[in-house]
């Protein structure tokens, strides 16, 4: 579904296994919005726990969250994008039109 490790969020033109054309795909900002809410909850919660329970210094927050957040972001966005594409395909969602062509 995705291009590969160098472009972890770019889509291929079609499925290699079944030949499904991915031109219908339009996830928009959905994965980013869900990702912001989910990662924001876990990153802020983790930072608060690290600060008040363990008392880590500020530079450790920069290292910890500066490395973990982008890694989690890519994996979560891949998962959310694939999920929204699967839902769009299953429900035959498409752009709204006044009349069928």
Q: Measured between alpha carbons, how far apart are the two ends of the chain, in Å?
A: 29
Q: How far apart are CA 16 and CA 8, in angstroms?
A: 17
Q: How far apart are CA 86 and CA 71, in angstroms?
A: 23
Q: Is the pLDDT of residue 97 over 80?
A: no
- Of 65, 35, 66, which is closest to residue 50 (Cα–Cα)? 65
What residue ranges do the domains of the chain occupy?
A: 22-90
Here the tokens at position 4 are 């590969």
pLDDT digits (tens, 9 = 90+) for 4-43: 777 888 888 888 888 888 888 888 899 999 999 999 999 9
């Amino acid at each position: 579904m995705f291009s590969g490790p160098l472009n972890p969020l770019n889509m291929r033109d079609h499925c290699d296994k079944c030949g499904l054309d991915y031109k219908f795909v339009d996830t928009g900002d959905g994965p980013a919005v869900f990702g912001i809410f989910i990662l924001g909850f876990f990153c802020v919660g983790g930072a608060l726990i690290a600060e008040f329970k363990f008392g880590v210094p500020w530079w450790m927050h920069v290292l910890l969250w500066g490395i973990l957040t982008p890694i989690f972001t890519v994996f979560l966005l891949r998962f959310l994008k694939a999920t929204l594409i699967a839902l769009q395909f299953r429900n035959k969602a498409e752009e709204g039109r006044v009349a069928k062509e």
